[in-house]
Amino acid sequence: VEDITVSGQPLVKTSVRYQAQPSVFRVGFFTLFFFILAIIFQKKLPEWKKAVESGYRLLRENPRKTGLFFAIFLAFCLWLYPLVAVFSTYRRVSFQTPLYLFGIAVFLTVSAFYFLHSQTEKKPEQIFTVLALSAGLMLCFLAPLCTGISWDDQIHYIRSVQVFSNLTQADIVMEHYAYQNPLNFSFSVDVWGERSAYLNDLYQNGVQSAGMSSNVSVDSLDVYRRMGYYLPGAVIFLGRLLRLPFVSVFLLGKTSILLCYVALVRVAIKRLKTGKMILATIALFPTGVFLASNYSCDSWITAWVMVGMSYFFAQLQEPDQPLTVKDTIIIMGSLVLGLGPKAIYFPLFALLLLLPKSKFSSVQQYRKYLVIVSVAAVLVLMSFVIPMLFDSVPSDTRGGSTVSGSDQIFYILSHPLTYTKVLLGFLWEYVSSFTCITDFAYLGTVSGSFSLLLLGAVVFTDKSDLDRYTSTGKVRLVTMGSVFVTLCLVATSLYIAFTPVGYSTINGCQQRYMMPLLFPLFYVLGSAKIKNGIDRKVYHTAILAANGILLYWSIFSLCISRYFR
């Protein structure tokens, strides 16, 4: 197949197969991994058992409704299939499986709204889970079988593999798809099937080709900065250990990232006392779900920041309740874990200094808390400062041959006013464009006007009396200041590592870098004085439905419809 040729060298079949090499780090990680899973399973088992029993009891108590639903669902599938077949024939393409599965996903999502409508008042995270999982799984399984879909996904994929496994030639081929094939060519059901068969055979038979190598080096990664790669890396390792097909393992790796994102955001929504729809809306932004459905560290950072900030804001809204050890560990641990891949977001630790002294039993306890926050922030900061002190200043070769990190730093120090003008001018355009909410990277983007209106609506309507503690002038000032400093650091780091020396703008600073900052920023806006008299069940359902419509429309426009254009 010509489109998957990655080298002029002939393919040679060998007897080499994937083997897991022994590693102390690998053994230690999986011991800890399964230990944590066992704890979670033991703690959640009664809750899951109760949910299953409740669902089973509901089905038994309403046999007619249950039978009617399955009959309608079967009839819908049988009705939709010939329609898609006729449409595919009309468009002169193979049967559009992505379109067919998209239709089924829409039906099941609407059904979930119907069955869970009564619980949306107190448990809106259930509908969020349905929306995020269904949309994310479509992006995982129905997007083209290649890299070069999301920002630098080929790099993130190779790094995920390298954490615990050895690279195979199938991995190299998958990486090279990002550089060789026009993306439009990949939007074909036939190409998807051909690539799947080719990659599975290449991996299964240990095919090697001279002259093929990865463009990604694992030497640039340390233990802490790999944090976002451990989960997909572990899934890839286990999948290969079980001898699963290459494509199945590739898709399972993406799915693990999505499941982690959904699970963490669900925990964050449950913890909030107010503003649940603000968090749900930001988490359901098409860009956020898109990133969580591809190989990327962005969703890891965003989700953990949401967990840490949700627990922090909940504590801030209870000034007379003592800060528990559990919540302290969750707040600190979430930020430390989440900022591993990009420690440059460390200014967010400044928000944690806003907890009042009334949260602590004594002045000594308050001082201990301040020390813990400071130490955690410094440790995160040192994770990227120390490498810069002992190694050469990094430069990204993708920025061009004129990029020099050391020369750029010298230029900034020599021309501080000039660089300040460049930085502020860039940030104005960067923030004002605000395309980070509906951008699907190399798949394109849709208008974000509706998303902005929806976000504005929830920011000023999803409020209660508790927001008088989190929407004060002091909290807003510290939050906005932390966000601004973070954006300055992000832009400056890319000016040093990715932009030619003395350039009048900043290259490589993509909109997705704002995603982890959106929740803390927009949560503190609005006012507790605004009263929302709409029934919470109706309000939550309407907001989640609006988010679902935007998300599904984005997937259809930028992914599903491209298979038959």
pLDDT above 70 as % of the chain:
87
Write down the pLDDT at residue 305: 96
User: What is the pLDDT confidence band of residue 57, given thresholds at 50, 70 and 90?
Assistant: confident
497 vs 212, higher pLDDT: 497
pLDDT above 50 (res 503): yes
Task: Transcribe 355-367 into DSSP letters.
Answer: --GGGSSSHHHHH
Write down the pLDDT at residue 395: 52
Write down the pLDDT at residue 216: 52
Write down the pLDDT at residue 394: 55
Write down the pLDDT at residue 221: 47
Write down the pLDDT at residue 14: 37
User: What is the pLDDT confidence band of residue 398, given thresholds at 50, 70 and 90?
Assistant: low
Q: Are 335 and 308 in contact (CB under 8 A)?
A: yes
- As a whole number of angstroms, the distance between CA 339 and CA 348 comes to 10
Write down the pLDDT at residue 390: 61
Q: Tokens representing 141?
A: 């399984």
pLDDT above 80 (res 119): yes
| H and E: helices and strands count for the chain | 21, 2
pLDDT above 80 (res 107): yes
H or E element at residue 11: strand 11-13
pLDDT above 70 (res 463): yes
- As a whole number of angstroms, the distance between CA 391 and CA 216 comes to 19
Phi/psi-derived region of residue 38, left when phi > 0, alpha when psi is between -120 and 50, beta in every other case:
alpha
The mean-pLDDT minimum among 139-148, 325-334, 385-394, 485-494 falls in 385-394
Q: Are 456 and 462 in contact (CB under 8 A)?
A: no
Write down the pLDDT at residue 471: 87
Among the listed residues 498, 496, 509, the one whose alpha carbon sits nearest the alpha carbon of residue 408 = 496
- As a whole number of angstroms, the distance between CA 263 and CA 133 comes to 10
- As a whole number of angstroms, the distance between CA 531 and CA 92 comes to 55
* Span 535-561, pLDDT tens digits: 899 999 999 999 999 999 999 999 999
The mean-pLDDT minimum among 21-25, 93-97, 321-325 falls in 21-25
64 vs 300, higher pLDDT: 300
Q: Are 558 and 444 in contact (CB under 8 A)?
A: yes
User: What is the pLDDT confidence band of residue 204, given thresholds at 50, 70 and 90?
Assistant: confident
Position 42, amino acid: Q
Q: Are 391 and 405 in contact (CB under 8 A)?
A: no
> Mean of the pLDDT values across residues 511-535?
89
First vs last C-alpha separation in the chain: 22
Write down the pLDDT at residue 528: 81
User: What is the pLDDT confidence band of residue 5, given thresholds at 50, 70 and 90?
Assistant: very low
Write down the pLDDT at residue 96: 92
Using DSSP's 3-state secondary structure scheme, residue 458 falls into helix
pLDDT above 50 (res 225): yes
Which residue in the block uniquely carries the two structure tokens 């029993």?
53
User: What is the pLDDT confidence band of residue 23, given thresholds at 50, 70 and 90?
Assistant: low
Write down the pLDDT at residue 389: 65
Write down the pLDDT at residue 17: 43
Residue-averaged pLDDT of the chain: 85
Among the listed residues 520, 529, 413, the one whose alpha carbon sits nearest the alpha carbon of residue 476 = 520
> Mean of the pLDDT values across residues 73-89?
94
User: What is the pLDDT confidence band of residue 219, given thresholds at 50, 70 and 90?
Assistant: very low
> Mean of the pLDDT values across residues 245-266?
95
> Mean of the pLDDT values across residues 306-311?
96
> For 394, which DSSP code?
P
pLDDT above 60 (res 534): yes
> Mean of the pLDDT values across residues 352-374?
91
* Span 256-299, pLDDT tens digits: 999 999 999 999 999 998 999 999 999 999 999 999 999 999 99
- What residues have CB less than 8 Å from 2, skipping those under 6 apart? none
- As a whole number of angstroms, the distance between CA 331 and CA 281 comes to 22
Q: Strand ranges (DSSP E) for 132-253?
A: 207-209
Q: Are 508 and 494 in contact (CB under 8 A)?
A: yes
